[in-house]
Protein backbone atom coordinates (compact mmCIF):
# COMPACT_ATOMS: atom_id res chain seq x y z
CA UNK A 1 0.00 0.00 0.00
CA UNK A 2 1.04 3.56 -0.67
CA UNK A 3 1.78 5.65 2.43
CA UNK A 4 1.85 9.45 2.31
CA UNK A 5 2.61 12.15 4.84
CA UNK A 6 0.45 15.17 4.00
CA UNK A 7 -1.68 17.79 5.70
CA UNK A 8 -5.08 16.13 6.10
CA UNK A 9 -6.94 19.02 4.45
CA UNK A 10 -4.58 18.81 1.46
CA UNK A 11 -5.15 15.09 1.27
CA UNK A 12 -8.93 15.59 1.21
CA UNK A 13 -8.69 17.84 -1.83
CA UNK A 14 -6.52 15.29 -3.66
CA UNK A 15 -8.92 12.37 -3.16
CA UNK A 16 -11.29 11.38 -5.92
CA UNK A 17 -14.86 10.39 -5.07
CA UNK A 18 -14.17 6.63 -4.82
CA UNK A 19 -11.01 6.77 -2.68
CA UNK A 20 -10.78 5.41 0.85
CA UNK A 21 -8.15 6.90 3.20
CA UNK A 22 -6.57 4.93 6.04
CA UNK A 23 -5.13 7.06 8.83
CA UNK A 24 -2.26 5.38 10.74
CA UNK A 25 -2.07 2.18 8.65
CA UNK A 26 -0.40 -0.72 10.43
CA UNK A 27 -0.91 0.86 13.86
CA UNK A 28 -3.20 -0.39 16.63
CA UNK A 29 -5.26 2.80 16.47
CA UNK A 30 -6.30 4.28 13.19
CA UNK A 31 -9.31 5.15 11.11
CA UNK A 32 -10.41 4.20 7.64
CA UNK A 33 -12.32 7.08 6.04
CA UNK A 34 -14.98 6.11 3.50
CA UNK A 35 -15.70 8.25 0.44
CA UNK A 36 -18.86 9.41 2.25
CA UNK A 37 -16.84 10.58 5.27
CA UNK A 38 -14.25 12.27 3.04
CA UNK A 39 -17.03 14.18 1.28
CA UNK A 40 -18.34 15.34 4.67
CA UNK A 41 -14.88 16.42 5.83
CA UNK A 42 -14.35 18.52 2.72
CA UNK A 43 -17.12 20.73 4.16
CA UNK A 44 -14.99 21.64 7.16
CA UNK A 45 -14.42 20.80 10.80
CA UNK A 46 -18.15 20.71 11.61
CA UNK A 47 -18.29 17.28 9.93
CA UNK A 48 -16.06 15.77 12.61
CA UNK A 49 -18.88 15.73 15.17
CA UNK A 50 -21.14 13.88 12.71
CA UNK A 51 -18.50 11.25 12.00
CA UNK A 52 -17.73 10.78 15.71
CA UNK A 53 -21.45 10.34 16.41
CA UNK A 54 -21.70 7.70 13.67
CA UNK A 55 -18.71 5.86 15.17
CA UNK A 56 -20.31 5.90 18.61
CA UNK A 57 -23.54 4.48 17.20
CA UNK A 58 -21.70 1.77 15.26
CA UNK A 59 -19.45 0.78 18.13
CA UNK A 60 -16.34 -1.29 17.42
CA UNK A 61 -17.02 -5.01 17.67
CA UNK A 62 -13.37 -5.77 16.88
CA UNK A 63 -12.19 -4.65 20.33
CA UNK A 64 -13.27 -5.64 23.80
CA UNK A 65 -12.50 -3.15 26.55
CA UNK A 66 -12.37 -4.39 30.14
CA UNK A 67 -11.75 -2.75 33.48
CA UNK A 68 -8.17 -3.66 34.30
CA UNK A 69 -9.03 -4.54 37.91
CA UNK A 70 -5.96 -5.34 39.93
CA UNK A 71 -4.04 -6.80 36.97
CA UNK A 72 -1.72 -3.80 36.58
CA UNK A 73 -1.05 -2.82 40.21
CA UNK A 74 2.71 -2.43 39.67
CA UNK A 75 2.14 -0.31 36.58
CA UNK A 76 -0.36 1.91 38.41
CA UNK A 77 2.12 2.44 41.24
CA UNK A 78 4.93 3.42 38.83
CA UNK A 79 2.67 5.70 36.83
CA UNK A 80 1.44 7.57 39.91
CA UNK A 81 5.06 8.48 40.66
CA UNK A 82 5.55 9.70 37.07
CA UNK A 83 2.34 11.73 37.13
CA UNK A 84 3.38 13.55 40.30
CA UNK A 85 6.27 15.01 38.28
CA UNK A 86 3.92 16.19 35.52
CA UNK A 87 1.49 18.85 36.75
CA UNK A 88 -0.25 18.65 33.36
CA UNK A 89 -1.71 15.21 34.19
CA UNK A 90 -5.17 15.84 35.64
CA UNK A 91 -6.58 12.28 35.55
CA UNK A 92 -5.53 8.86 34.33
CA UNK A 93 -7.61 5.82 33.38
CA UNK A 94 -6.39 2.28 32.81
CA UNK A 95 -8.32 -0.40 30.93
CA UNK A 96 -7.40 -3.58 29.12
CA UNK A 97 -8.08 -3.83 25.38
CA UNK A 98 -8.41 -7.17 23.62
CA UNK A 99 -8.51 -7.07 19.84
CA UNK A 100 -9.79 -10.64 19.62
CA UNK A 101 -6.79 -11.89 17.68
CA UNK A 102 -4.15 -14.25 19.06
CA UNK A 103 -2.11 -11.52 20.79
CA UNK A 104 -2.29 -10.75 24.47
CA UNK A 105 -4.65 -8.04 25.69
CA UNK A 106 -2.94 -4.66 26.03
CA UNK A 107 -3.24 -2.04 28.72
CA UNK A 108 -4.66 1.24 27.46
CA UNK A 109 -3.83 4.38 29.40
CA UNK A 110 -6.11 7.37 28.87
CA UNK A 111 -4.97 10.77 30.12
CA UNK A 112 -6.72 14.05 30.79
CA UNK A 113 -4.02 16.68 30.33
CA UNK A 114 -4.09 20.41 30.90
CA UNK A 115 -2.18 22.61 28.46
CA UNK A 116 0.96 20.69 27.49
CA UNK A 117 3.64 21.27 24.87
CA UNK A 118 4.44 18.57 22.33
CA UNK A 119 7.96 18.20 23.82
CA UNK A 120 6.55 17.72 27.31
CA UNK A 121 3.96 15.24 25.99
CA UNK A 122 6.71 13.27 24.25
CA UNK A 123 8.77 13.26 27.46
CA UNK A 124 5.74 12.01 29.39
CA UNK A 125 5.15 9.26 26.81
CA UNK A 126 8.78 8.13 27.17
CA UNK A 127 8.51 7.97 30.96
CA UNK A 128 5.26 6.02 30.68
CA UNK A 129 6.98 3.60 28.30
CA UNK A 130 9.92 3.14 30.71
CA UNK A 131 7.54 2.56 33.64
CA UNK A 132 5.64 -0.01 31.60
CA UNK A 133 8.82 -1.84 30.65
CA UNK A 134 9.88 -1.95 34.31
CA UNK A 135 6.55 -3.17 35.66
CA UNK A 136 5.29 -5.37 32.79
CA UNK A 137 6.85 -7.72 30.31
CA UNK A 138 9.50 -5.53 28.59
CA UNK A 139 7.95 -6.27 25.20
CA UNK A 140 4.38 -5.48 26.21
CA UNK A 141 3.06 -2.30 24.67
CA UNK A 142 0.90 0.23 26.52
CA UNK A 143 -1.55 2.06 24.27
CA UNK A 144 -1.71 5.79 25.04
CA UNK A 145 -4.66 8.13 24.57
CA UNK A 146 -3.84 11.79 25.17
CA UNK A 147 -7.07 13.45 23.99
CA UNK A 148 -9.35 12.96 27.00
CA UNK A 149 -9.29 16.68 27.88
CA UNK A 150 -11.61 17.00 24.88
CA UNK A 151 -15.09 15.97 26.05
CA UNK A 152 -15.94 15.11 22.42
CA UNK A 153 -13.13 12.55 22.16
CA UNK A 154 -14.40 9.24 20.78
CA UNK A 155 -12.17 7.48 23.32
CA UNK A 156 -14.53 8.42 26.18
CA UNK A 157 -16.92 5.77 24.87
CA UNK A 158 -14.59 2.94 25.84
CA UNK A 159 -13.96 4.43 29.28
CA UNK A 160 -17.64 4.67 30.17
CA UNK A 161 -18.19 3.54 33.75
CA UNK A 162 -14.44 3.43 34.51
CA UNK A 163 -13.14 5.51 37.41
CA UNK A 164 -9.74 7.17 37.11
CA UNK A 165 -6.96 5.49 39.08
CA UNK A 166 -5.14 8.82 39.35
CA UNK A 167 -6.60 12.25 40.10
CA UNK A 168 -4.27 15.22 40.50
CA UNK A 169 -4.20 16.44 44.08
CA UNK A 170 -4.74 20.20 44.24
CA UNK A 171 -3.59 22.07 47.31
CA UNK A 172 -5.11 25.34 48.36
CA UNK A 173 -3.28 28.51 49.37
CA UNK A 174 -2.97 27.17 52.94
CA UNK A 175 -1.17 24.03 51.67
CA UNK A 176 -4.13 21.74 52.37
Q: Give me the pLDDT at residue 136, please.
A: 83
Q: Give me the pLDDT at residue 59, please.
A: 56
Q: Apex CA 81: angle with CA 119 and CA 112, to 5°?
A: 55
Q: Give me the pLDDT at residue 121, please.
A: 92
DSSP letters for 11-78: HHHH--TT--EEESTTSSS-EEEPHHHHHHHTT-THHHHHHHHHHHHH--TT-EEEE-TTTTHHHHHH
Length of the chain: 176
Residues of the chain with pLDDT under 50: none
* Cα separation, 105 vs 67, whole angstroms: 12
Which tens digit of pLDDT belongs to each residue from 101-151? 656 788 889 999 998 899 999 999 999 999 888 888 766 788 888 888 888
Buried b (16+ CB within 10 A) or exposed e, 64-75: ebeebeeebeeb
Q: Give me the pLDDT at residue 140, please.
A: 74
* Cα separation, 136 vs 72, whole angstroms: 8
Q: Give me the pLDDT at residue 174, please.
A: 64
Q: Give me the pLDDT at residue 58, please.
A: 63
Q: Give me the pLDDT at residue 62, please.
A: 63
- Other Cβ atoms less than 10 A from the Cβ of 15: the count is 16
Q: Give me the pLDDT at residue 10, please.
A: 78
Q: Which residues contact 12 (CB under 8 A, 6 or more apart)?
A: 38, 41, 42
Q: Give me the pLDDT at residue 120, please.
A: 92
The verdict on pTM exceeding 0.75 is: no
Amino acid sequence: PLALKKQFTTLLTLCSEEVWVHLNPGEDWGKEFSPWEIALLRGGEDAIADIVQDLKEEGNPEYEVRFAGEVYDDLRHCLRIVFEAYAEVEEAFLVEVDSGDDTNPKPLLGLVLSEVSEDRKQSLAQEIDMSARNSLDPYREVLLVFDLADNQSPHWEMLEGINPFYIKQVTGPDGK
